[in-house]
Amino acid sequence: MILTDDERGMRDGAEGPAVAAAMDLLVRYGEALGAEHLCEVRNVAGTTTQPSPAKARLVAEGGWERAFSVINLDSDETLDVPPMRVPTCQLQQGFGADAHGVPYPAEFVDLQSDAEAFYGRRGVNILATCTPYQVGNLPVRGEHVAWMESSAVVYANSVLGARTNCEGTASTGAASLTGRIPCWGNHHVTNRLGTHLVRADLPVRSFRDWGLFGYFVGDLVQEARPVLVGELARPDLTDLKHLGAAAASSGGIELFHLPGVTPEAPTVEAAFGGRVPEAVGYGPAERRTVYDRLNDQGDREEVDFVLLGCPHASLDQIREAARLLEGRHVEAELWIMAPRALKAVADRSGYTAVIEAAGGRILADSCPAMSRAAPEGTRVFATDSAKQAHYLPAILGIEAWFGTTAECVDAAVTGRWRGELR
């Protein structure tokens, strides 16, 4: 890999051992990819504060310096951690001290609080959400960034037109200290053109519709770049968030194009940069298959737990949940996951009060999958998120139902799943 003079300097220790270790990791990683050089980034979204047993052990051995060195720089040495070289934010993490009653280890709450102090002092913005783009972190079109979190990556590439690969804990750690990431994959314009044309032959309108369509598309094209056309209503932020997260769960999609909606696809032809391939159709049979697949982990109709807000809820979703819950009372536990900054707005707007009056709650910072935590005794959960329906059964060993937000709220109120695809 070709390095600039500055990069060679960093690798050789001109800016201290932590930066040298970061550059060493980036070189090993760049070579693993077959990248020819690095590109400059000044927006990193990674994870340092999220507790785990392995991290707790490293912190006990040698403090946060040790945890950062081993996990975020892939170094065997324990190195002093300098301030972040470029703006860096913390993605979703564990639960905080205000998540009363959530079965989550108290030592992890303390560990995370300690981590926030350590990394905050070094310039990590503790956004604590999988949707940094909802709380002020909006890279501009064409900007090279280094983000992890598959649902945020697909949003940044597709909806914002920023350029990032699906980075990991170590590569974002190294990027935060160097302002560099391998220039490979999605960083090259030629790798951003569409590869597959997928046509919806039935209306895709609701939040659930976008999740089902995304889950279908991800399974269909895996790591490729789909261009989506057909009977698509104009999506909003919430729909696009669900579409991308679903597509990045059933497959590894990091970039999609919606001609007329997303910035790199003014037209279908522009999305492909020339020849348009034949379309694959998404009709009633395909939708039924996807729906059944997302619901094949559900057996018992008694629902103990309802989860909304994956990826973290938008204000519209929180307000919608409040509207559906108004004057009702939940039988099952109902959690809505949201960015802390948006929860503050929900509190102020009175949505939280309505949700809490119904017996539900808004929780910030984390989610059941990240923190491996659901209400005590949960055997069956329901969600309006294709991503959580995909992952949570494996992570927590529970049954899953997937449906609309209204079906989920009904399940919370009645304690029974009565969702269906009409």
Partner 1 sequence: MTAETRVRAADDTEAPLVLRGRTVVPGVVEGEALVSHETISGWGGIDPATGTIIERRHELCGVCFTGKILVFPGAKGSSGWSGFFQTTRLLGTAPIGMVFTVTTTKAALGAVVTRVPALSDLDRDPTELLRTGDRIRLDADAGLVTLLRRGPVAE
The residue within the footprint of partner 1, chosen from 4, 222, 267, 289 (CB under 8 A), is: 222
Nearest to 293 by CA among 212, 239, 223: 212
Site for partner 1 in 318-377 (CB under 8 A): 369
Number of residues that bind partner 1 (CB under 8 A): 42
Phi, psi torsion values for 420, nearest 5 degrees? -155, 160
243 binds partner 1 (CB under 8 A): no
With respect to partner 1, which residue has the nearer C-beta, 74 or 410?
Answer: 74
Chain centroid offset of residue 200 CA = 25
The residue within the footprint of partner 1, chosen from 32, 60, 140, 344 (CB under 8 A), is: 32
Phi, psi torsion values for 352, nearest 5 degrees? -60, -40
Query: CB 28 → partner 1: shortest distance, Å?
Result: 5
Site for partner 1 in 292-311 (CB under 8 A): 293, 296-297
With respect to partner 1, which residue has the nearer C-beta, 230 or 393?
Answer: 393
With respect to partner 1, which residue has the nearer C-beta, 99 or 392?
Answer: 392
The residue within the footprint of partner 1, chosen from 110, 223, 326, 420 (CB under 8 A), is: 223
Site for partner 1 in 83-122 (CB under 8 A): none
With respect to partner 1, which residue has the nearer C-beta, 54 or 285?
Answer: 54
The residue within the footprint of partner 1, chosen from 81, 153, 197, 413 (CB under 8 A), is: 153
Nearest to 88 by CA among 7, 181, 154, 150: 181
Site map for partner 1, 58-77, x if CB under 8 A? ------------xx--x---
With respect to partner 1, which residue has the nearer C-beta, 248 or 412?
Answer: 248
256 binds partner 1 (CB under 8 A): no
Query: CB 169 → partner 1: shortest distance, Å?
Result: 4
The b/e string for 243-267 (b: 16+ C-beta within 10 A; e otherwise) is bbbbbbbbbebbbbbbbeebebbee
The b/e string for 140-156 (b: 16+ C-beta within 10 A; e otherwise) is eeebbbbbbbbbbbbbb
168 binds partner 1 (CB under 8 A): yes
Which one of the spans 159-167, 279-287, 322-330, 335-343 is the region binding partner 1 (CB under 8 A)?
159-167
394 binds partner 1 (CB under 8 A): yes
Dist. CA 121–CA 101, nearest whole Å = 30
Query: CB 308 → partner 1: shortest distance, Å?
Result: 19
The residue within the footprint of partner 1, chosen from 276, 395, 406, 421 (CB under 8 A), is: 395
92 touches 128 (CB < 8 A): yes
Query: CB 57 → partner 1: shortest distance, Å?
Result: 8
Amino acid at the residue 181: I
With respect to partner 1, which residue has the nearer C-beta, 29 or 213?
Answer: 29
With respect to partner 1, which residue has the nearer C-beta, 125 or 169?
Answer: 169
With respect to partner 1, which residue has the nearer C-beta, 115 or 324?
Answer: 115
416 binds partner 1 (CB under 8 A): no
34 binds partner 1 (CB under 8 A): yes
Dist. CA 343–CA 337, nearest whole Å = 9
With respect to partner 1, which residue has the nearer C-beta, 147 or 351?
Answer: 147
Nearest to 388 by CA among 409, 406, 366: 366
165 binds partner 1 (CB under 8 A): yes
Which one of the spans 2-10, 162-170, 326-334, 335-343 is the region binding partner 1 (CB under 8 A)?
162-170
The residue within the footprint of partner 1, chosen from 81, 124, 135, 170 (CB under 8 A), is: 170
With respect to partner 1, which residue has the nearer C-beta, 133 or 351?
Answer: 133
Q: Which residues bind partner 1 (CB under 8 A)?
A: 25, 28-29, 32-34, 47, 52-54, 70-71, 74, 148-150, 153, 165-171, 184-185, 222-223, 248-249, 251-252, 293, 296-297, 369, 390-395
